[in-house]
Structure 1
Amino acid sequence: MTMVILPVLQDRFQRVHKYLRISVTDRCNFRCVYCMPTTFSGFLPRSQVLTFEEIARVVRVAAGLGVSRLKVTGGEPLVRRELPALIRSLRSAPGIEEITMTSNGVLLARYARELKDAGLDRINVSLDTLKPERFDRLARGTGTWQDVLAGIEAARAVGLEPVKINVVSMRGVNDDEALDFARLTVAEGWHVRFIELMPFPEEQNQDCHGGGLDGAYLPTDELRARIEAAYGPLESAELPGNGPARYFRVPGAAGSIGFISPVSEEHFCARCNR
């Protein structure tokens, strides 16, 4: 197929956009406390969700405008049936150089090999705690903490690397595990990214440990200070990708520690190319 080259996607700030996020579904098998409002009124009718053919058409047009990298998201993308077939179709679009995905990991062990064979390059997995009971309270969904760990290991085994672990850090909820996650970058070579909690309107606050998430916001600079108090100064590190994370490494660690700071970082969106 011949790709028609059109003018590049450039905004009024002179940023050239080469990265497209594709939400393949709004459905999810989790009801995470910081994501799903208690007043949630339901998912979109399936008739309003883009078909695979429509998604592929959008990607072909975007590729003609200079987009070369895709991020597949949801909801939880793996609840969309036949997702590997979509990945394979998108991979065949002229100009597409990389496809990555974000997942909660529960179904990942089942699909990791098929996704890799279809052309997926890398994956991010959301995991906010290393404690099974806490996981159940935070995720409020089907599947278990053990399922997510199995998914992470399956992704690493088939080469969907580096697997990046996304941790939404919440004061008084899971911030006591920051050093445990940091330790895994040394012991297991994990690539962990701490993400600041995004504020929601008061009516969307979720029940967590018997109360809402008021006061749960924790700046990443404070997390970094805690980690450096235990491990010493972190070294700068680089990982594949174009995201907003700033990466560091405990000296000698095979893994890395990333910080994503949408609240505390001034001009957080200035470098965005999505």
Structure 2
Amino acid sequence: MQSSNQPVDLHIVGATDTNELICVVPAARAWFKASENFLKQIVLLLPISIIDSSSDGLNYIITNVDYGRISKLSIKKCIAYFEQFSTGREQEGLASLLRSPAISITDLCNIKCAYCYVEAPGVTKSNRKQVQFEGASSFIEAIAKAGSKTVQFFGGEPSTYSELPQLIEKARSEGLDVRISSNGISSRLRSPAYKAAVSDRNVHWRISLDSHIESKNDLHRGKGTYSSIMKNLEYLASADSYVSLKCVLSEGSLEDLEGYLDFAASFGFKVTYTIMFPVGDAKAKGMNASISEFDIVKELFSIGCRRPEIMPILNPSPFGFMLRSIFLRDALCVPRFTLYLHSDGNIYPMDSMIDEKYRVSKVNLNEENTPRDISSLVDLGKALRIQSESSLNGARCARCCVKPFCYVENSDSWEIPNIPSQKEFASCSSKRSAIKFLMLHEKDCKLLVRRMLPESSSRTVH
């Protein structure tokens, strides 16, 4: 939050070919282009502290400004002035906390990915857990009454949970859309038990497929996985299911990315992605992505400019989110923290914070007769406090010049408990470069956003 006796930070993050400066005012969640003369004039009228946050070495400095004469009221007026340039992106709070609740219904997984972030292969049969059906049902009822619109099921592998079809039915009966993160291996998806869920367009199947090339997918996910996944993808496509493919990008992925998009488009599927990060099994084996968020954004930008018809399938991806947060008015944030029911029966802010000090549930949902309202299940005050201290409003992000536009689902956030809250993630620098890059290519990006949105959308591109 902006201090009442400090000038408002205005960051210069780059310059266009026509020498316009790209300016970001985090306190107002705003960005705009301005001439050097404009800044020199406005700094005499408003309490601005100009910071060179570019990678171009602009060294832009304004001197001889007496900020000691600035009143508290003028700080508020200053922020209000810059809010006219804001896209109005949502700030994190209770609404975002309730937006995407998730249930890790089981620790069990039916494959052994080389880079598994939760180290699933290290979970022995003796300590594997799964959430009890009644507890999961209580959680679903509670979040629905509290205003949530969706719930996500993942694990482990959700399809190994015998009562998954019944949980999907329960969530849909409460009016919730359902998202299921699955490795897409199990033939159960083609069984009669799943028929209703597969044919329901309000059930979103997010299937993990690292490559449309069999040998490359099976390299990390295991021999034969591609063949099993393809059987289910063909079945889901024939049933007109709502499907997105999720790939874990690593070294060599970029050269195949356009082909992967074409593969997904041929089925009518969406695409999202994450980057392989050295945590869990990947860390133990010395695996790393060798690519960055910035590398991916530049590649997708290039593909989109050449082939804008491909943009709709990228809507749910990090690239799509960055475009929406920068260029679309009233964009919703993607919360780093949510209400996450773990297979141990407790609720935490996210799946990397499975620790007593982060537990926000008031009861264990694997016990009998659990309550079915959110205030009895969750310490919302504690959950919001953790969100405030550790997310975009926390010390870690306080001085970041582009935090209002950040895609906050950092791959390396799995190590949150082990990183001091004021220390940046390893991916932060790359994300900043990616966001600055998109701002510098404003004209092209606005066209990409318009092509990405559904034709029926009335959203305003900023």
| TM-score scaled by length of structure 1 | 0.69
1:212 aligns with 2:287: yes
2:254 maps to 175
Relative distance call for 1:190 and 1:60 in structure 2 (3 A) is: closer
Identity of aligned residues (%): 20
Relative distance call for 1:36 and 1:171 in structure 2 (3 A) is: same
Relative distance call for 1:152 and 1:109 in structure 2 (3 A) is: farther
Within-5 A mapping of 1:189-228: 189-193=268-272, 195-201=273-279, 204-205=282-283, 207=285, 212-213=287-288, 215-217=290-292, 219=294, 220-228=296-304
Using the TM superposition, give the Cα deviation of residue 29 of structure 1 relative to its aligned residue in structure 2, in angstroms. 1.6
Between the aligned partners of 1:159 and 1:39, the Cα distance in structure 2 is: 31
Which residue identity lines up with residue 168 of structure 1 in the other structure? V
Between the aligned partners of 2:290 and 2:233, the Cα distance in structure 1 is: 31
Using the TM superposition, give the Cα deviation of residue 158 of structure 1 relative to its aligned residue in structure 2, in angstroms. 2.1
Alignment partner for residue 105 of structure 1, among 169, 178, 184?
Answer: 184
Within-5 A mapping of 1:93-132: 93=174, 96-107=175-186, 110-111=189-190, 114-118=193-197, 121-132=203-214
Alignment partner for residue 165 of structure 1, among 199, 223, 245?
Answer: 245
Alignment partner for residue 88 of structure 1, among 155, 159, 169?
Answer: 169
| TM-score scaled by length of structure 2 | 0.44
Secondary structure (helix, strand or coil) at the match of 2:147 reads coil
Secondary structure (helix, strand or coil) at the match of 2:248 reads strand
Between the aligned partners of 1:151 and 1:188, the Cα distance in structure 2 is: 12
Tell me how many residue pairs correspond in the alignment: 236
Alignment partner for residue 29 of structure 1, among 88, 110, 120?
Answer: 110
Q: Is the 8 A contact 1:27 1:75 kept in 2?
A: yes
1:269 aligns with 2:408: yes
The structure with the greater share of residues assigned to helix is 2
Gaps of 5+ in 1: 1-10, 249-259
Between the aligned partners of 1:80 and 1:37, the Cα distance in structure 2 is: 18
Structure showing greater Rg: 2
Moved over 6 A (4+): 238-241
Using the TM superposition, give the Cα deviation of residue 21 of structure 1 relative to its aligned residue in structure 2, in angstroms. 1.2
Using the TM superposition, give the Cα deviation of residue 127 of structure 1 relative to its aligned residue in structure 2, in angstroms. 0.4
Using the TM superposition, give the Cα deviation of residue 233 of structure 1 relative to its aligned residue in structure 2, in angstroms. 4.7
1:246 aligns with 2:320: yes
1:144 maps to 225
Which residue identity lines up with residue 107 of structure 1 in the other structure? S
Using the TM superposition, give the Cα deviation of residue 237 of structure 1 relative to its aligned residue in structure 2, in angstroms. 3.3
Q: Is the 8 A contact 2:183 2:209 kept in 1?
A: yes
Q: Is the 8 A contact 1:116 1:158 kept in 2?
A: no
Q: Is the 8 A contact 2:109 2:120 kept in 1?
A: no
Supply the RMSD in Å over aligned alpha carbons.
Answer: 3.8
Alignment partner for residue 312 of structure 2, among 218, 237, 241?
Answer: 237
Task: Please give the per-residue CA displacement for 1:172-218, whole angstroms capped at 9, x wherever unaligned.
Answer: 3x33211211222554433222x2315335984264xxx62262445
Using the TM superposition, give the Cα deviation of residue 22 of structure 1 relative to its aligned residue in structure 2, in angstroms. 1.2
Between the aligned partners of 1:112 and 1:104, the Cα distance in structure 2 is: 16
Between the aligned partners of 1:55 and 1:40, the Cα distance in structure 2 is: 24
Task: Please give the per-residue CA displacement for 1:204-241, whole angstroms capped at 9, x wherever unaligned.
Answer: 4264xxx6226244532132145247x44567538897
Which residue identity lines up with residue 146 of structure 1 in the other structure? S
Using the TM superposition, give the Cα deviation of residue 28 of structure 1 relative to its aligned residue in structure 2, in angstroms. 1.3
Relative distance call for 1:233 and 1:159 in structure 2 (3 A) is: closer
Secondary structure (helix, strand or coil) at the match of 1:102 reads strand
